[in-house]
Structure 1
């Protein structure tokens, strides 16, 4: 599926979503709503296992909110659709891996979009910032998430000053998983997506739910919930054919065949 703002390509169990809004791949409310619909379909389609989000071209991944739309009157409190801004940040029950392939400038809401993914691969020329401070606005989602992702003082410097990080520094602070030569970015993102798509989807779902719920809970409280059968994805895993298959494959010294049931 392709629209004027987004390209959507399906390869087996992998969905690729490309922001395609020249010149900078900025996101207005209509594009955000469309992204929410795409990622909702991804979440709900049992045949899809992994998603990749990237930007068209080599200069911009995404600078976030479309300031041209804002100057034309679009309200910052506009309806951004399912999943909130960019379709990922607030999408409930998204228990499948998402890879961000950052192909250039990644700032503001674009950085918030990237850190909503599970894995971030960045081209060697990528750069990262939260420049909202310079336009008198707040990077709200980043203010919540970023100090939990990287060292507090680095996160606060980014939020308070709008300072830019190149790919090397972003990797040093753990903001991204790895740096990739720009010509190899999508090849490596696809290779990782294919590896994940061949993995156990029920285990991935359980991992994502546990990690998401545990973020603001004490260790023992989360463990008690697991032991008390209070995580739907964990219980589904423990009752599944896939768990039996995993044990059989281990005993038979062969690769398991995952069915997602």
Structure 2
């Protein structure tokens, strides 16, 4: 079942569409006249939507997508020229996501170009599903700028550093197939199928215990910066509450009773 959020901020035609589909939130960038470029309003709407995702007991994962032929061109330069406002939300940073992604898993479903900030938005997501014709690039150096929305920080952690350096310094885009070869894109599907494939992947994740999923995401994201001799101790601080949770006991009971678990998030 697809359900539009009832929050009044989402009334009317707005640049971000938000749906709930069987425990998965689907966020759709909806600015076709601006190539889904992000202005301050869109960034704030996405930030609010991510807050609702993290706070909801019913939502376990999310998909972030654009139009059928274009993910996002990044920052709305026309809006910036007109207003002087950068698309930076005070809570979640650039584009409403790159500074502080959601606590729950989020999957980028990319069709067509994801360039500049559009690529950085995808990099802020945990997983990426792409149509065959999708392209990913950080062309900022071609315009006298730098990829300051996380591109230079996240890309070297997701693909070999020398290849990330080449992509940043040349500004040359990467195809979906190449990104899959490098391990950046999880799945490449026929054009037009990225959203459905991403929702299927999100639904698979949503079947698992929410506390365990969220703790696993935090450990994998943060452990790269932990000193090696502290990694297990720091991990324990995050996973012990999961181990002692009601969901952990429910998982064991469900396994013994050969039935699907009924997660409570507690």
**1:124 paired to 2:132:** yes
Displacement after TM superposition at 1:144 (Å): 1.0
Greater alpha carbon shift after TM alignment, 191-200 vs 79-88: 79-88
Partner of 2:173: 164
Partner of 1:38: 49
**1:215 paired to 2:224:** yes
Partner of 1:54: 65
Q: How many Å separate the matches in 1 of 2:89 and 2:41? A: 7
**1:21 paired to 2:26:** no
Q: Flag structure 1 segments of 5+ consecutive residues without an equivalent.
A: none
Residues 93-138 of structure 1 show CA distances to partners (whole Å, capped at 9, x for unaligned) of x321101000110011111110111110000110010000011111
Q: How many Å separate the matches in 2 of 1:235 and 1:145? A: 28
Residue 225 of structure 2: SS of its match in structure 1? coil
Displacement after TM superposition at 1:242 (Å): 0.9
Provide the TM-score with structure 1 as the length reference.
0.91
Residue 192 of structure 2: SS of its match in structure 1? helix
Partner of 2:264: 259
| Aligned with 2:121 (options 89, 110, 113) | 113
**Poorly superposed stretches of 4+, deviation over 6 Å:** none
Q: How many Å separate the matches in 2 of 1:183 and 1:63? A: 18
Residues 208-233 of structure 1 show CA distances to partners (whole Å, capped at 9, x for unaligned) of 12122212113331211234xx32xx
Q: How many Å separate the matches in 2 of 1:79 and 1:112? A: 13
Is contact 1:36–1:81 with CA below 8 Å preserved after alignment? Answer: no
Displacement after TM superposition at 1:19 (Å): 0.2
How many residue pairs were aligned?
254
Q: How many Å separate the matches in 2 of 1:166 and 1:111? A: 12
Q: How many Å separate the matches in 2 of 1:88 and 1:215? A: 20
Provide the TM-score with structure 2 as the length reference.
0.89
Partner of 1:235: 240
Is contact 1:95–1:204 with CA below 8 Å preserved after alignment? Answer: no
Residue 71 of structure 2: SS of its match in structure 1? strand
| 1:194-205 aligned within 5 A | 194-205=203-214
Q: Flag structure 2 segments of 5+ consecutive residues without an equivalent.
A: none
Displacement after TM superposition at 1:236 (Å): 2.6
Q: Please tell me the root mean square deviation across aligned C-alpha atoms, in Å.
A: 1.7
